[in-house]
């Protein structure tokens, strides 16, 4: 499928990126458990340590007729409560946070019920640890009766909520914050990848617009050479084939190194020199340290084509076109100079032709505001097009 076909498909089938596919939701749910064990575990461990230190002097004693469990039983109590809370966190957070108010109210209700359930079970679990660790089986009936269903008064509920609602909520907040942070980070990476893909697609579309224009001119020149000089026509066809091969590769790799861009530009210039023969002289100089810098593919061809097409009728002699590529600190500088015409003032962007507008659009798609192009008079005569872009940009998926 060609790039314009892809663009039509994208326009015909609008995507709703606000809704996640099922596999994304399932993956988020699967990632809840590691977050629960990490954030929830640390939170409950901190609470358990503070509780052990607070009750350490009273461990295993009776105060005002109430038995104080040993530190070992208290630690097991916290472990069991955390395991129960972990299941509650998974159930509650697994519902997500829907945008509809009614569904949000239902999620809040589920969290409240789960929190009350954990607080209600806390004294029962504590009694169980007394039996298992402290050996108080004979006191089971006496210890558990006050906490059985329908035996709690409102003061007991206040005590339960004060003692166990707070640690449960602290653990829930810690898990929710870490889960939200990881989800936000994952979505940021996903959006960054989408932005890069959209930019690459836009660059490929803009690049594809260049080929028909140049191909038409080249084929027209070949048709004229067939009768005048069949040998030159054959040479131009071969060089045109070399350029088209490189141009087709650029649609697969929107980013290339300067070295590859120069090879493509050299193939293009070979076609033009065959076409214009002694009426065109070109020079191409490249700073060796700039060879490995990445840049948009076939960015220079339309600028050089513009310099040739607008300059070849300016004087009776041969047209001189020079291309100079260099690195200046963290910038890549490209100059395309022709001997004619001589501009009086910098060219306004409003009068750019299709080729220059295309190059400027590709620069903006690739670098945003961190790149620029200007066309104006050259100090040595003629016209100069100047491109200034970052020198150390390596987009994902670049060649």
Give tens-digit pLDDT for 37-68.
999 999 999 988 988 888 888 888 887 777 88
Measured N-to-C along each axis, helices 166-228 and 41-55 cross at an angle, to the nearest 10 degrees, of 160
Between 261 and 397, the higher pLDDT residue: 261
User: Given this model, what pLDDT does residue 10 score?
Assistant: 35
Q: Is the pLDDT of residue 321 over 60?
A: yes
Residues 6+ apart with CB under 8 A from 244: 211, 215
Helix/strand/coil percentages in the chain, nearest 5: 65, 10, 20
Q: Is the pLDDT of residue 8 over 70?
A: no
Share of the chain above pLDDT 90, in %: 26
Band (196; pLDDT cuts 50, 70, 90): low
CB-CB contact of 357 with 312 (8 Å): no
| Average pLDDT score over residue span 239-247 | 79
Q: Is the pLDDT of residue 359 over 90?
A: no
Share of the chain above pLDDT 70, in %: 81
State the chain's mean pLDDT as an integer. Answer: 80
Band (7; pLDDT cuts 50, 70, 90): very low
Range picked from 138-142, 251-255, 335-339 for highest mean pLDDT: 335-339
Q: Is the pLDDT of residue 107 over 60?
A: yes
Band (24; pLDDT cuts 50, 70, 90): very low
Q: How far is CA 19 from CA 13, 22, 25, in A?
A: 15, 9, 10
Band (145; pLDDT cuts 50, 70, 90): low
User: Given this model, what pLDDT does residue 147 score?
Assistant: 62
d(CA 160, CA 126): 12
């Amino acid at each position: 499928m060609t790039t314009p076909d892809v663009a039509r498909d994208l326009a015909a089938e609008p995507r709703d990126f606000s809704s996640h596919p099922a596999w994304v939701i399932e993956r988020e749910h699967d990632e809840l458990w590691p977050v629960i064990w990490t954030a929830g575990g640390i939170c409950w461990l901190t609470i358990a340590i503070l509780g052990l230190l607070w009750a350490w002097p009273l461990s295993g004693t009776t105060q005002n007729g109430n038995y104080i469990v040993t530190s070992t039983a208290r630690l097991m109590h916290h472990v069991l409560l955390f395991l129960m809370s972990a299941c509650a966190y998974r159930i509650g957070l697994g519902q997500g946070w829907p945008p509809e108010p009614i569904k949000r109210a239902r999620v809040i209700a589920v969290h409240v019920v789960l929190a009350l359930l954990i607080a209600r079970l806390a004294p029962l679990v504590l009694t169980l640890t007394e039996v298992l660790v402290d050996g108080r089986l004979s006191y089971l009936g006496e210890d558990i009766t006050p906490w059985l269903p329908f035996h709690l008064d409102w003061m007991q509920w206040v005590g339960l909520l004060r003692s166990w609602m707070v640690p449960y909520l602290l653990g829930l907040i810690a898990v929710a914050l870490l889960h939200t942070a990881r989800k936000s980070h994952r979505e940021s990476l996903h959006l960054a990848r989408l932005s890069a893909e959209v930019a690459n697609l836009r660059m490929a579309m803009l690049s594809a617009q260049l080929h028909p224009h140049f191909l038409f001119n080249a084929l027209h020149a070949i048709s004229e050479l067939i009768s005048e000089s069949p040998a030159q026509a054959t040479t131009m066809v071969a060089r045109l084939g070399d350029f088209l091969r490189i141009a087709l590769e650029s649609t697969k790799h929107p980013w290339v190194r300067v070295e590859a861009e120069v090879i493509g530009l050299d193939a293009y210039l070979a076609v033009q020199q065959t076409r214009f023969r002694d009426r065109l002289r070109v020079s191409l100089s490249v700073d060796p340290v700039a060879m490995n810098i990445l840049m948009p593919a076939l960015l220079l061809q339309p600028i050089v084509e513009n310099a040739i097409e607008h300059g070849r009728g300016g004087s009776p002699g041969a047209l001189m076109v020079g291309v100079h590529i260099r690195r200046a600190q963290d910038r890549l500088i490209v100059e395309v100079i022709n001997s004619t015409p001589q501009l009086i003032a910098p060219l306004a962007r409003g009068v750019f032709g299709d080729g220059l507008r295309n190059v400027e659009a590709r620069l903006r798609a690739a670098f945003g505001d961190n790149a620029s192009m200007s066309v104006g008079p050259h100090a040595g005569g003629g016209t100069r097009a100047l491109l200034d872009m970052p020198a150390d940009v390596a987009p994902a998926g670049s060649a």
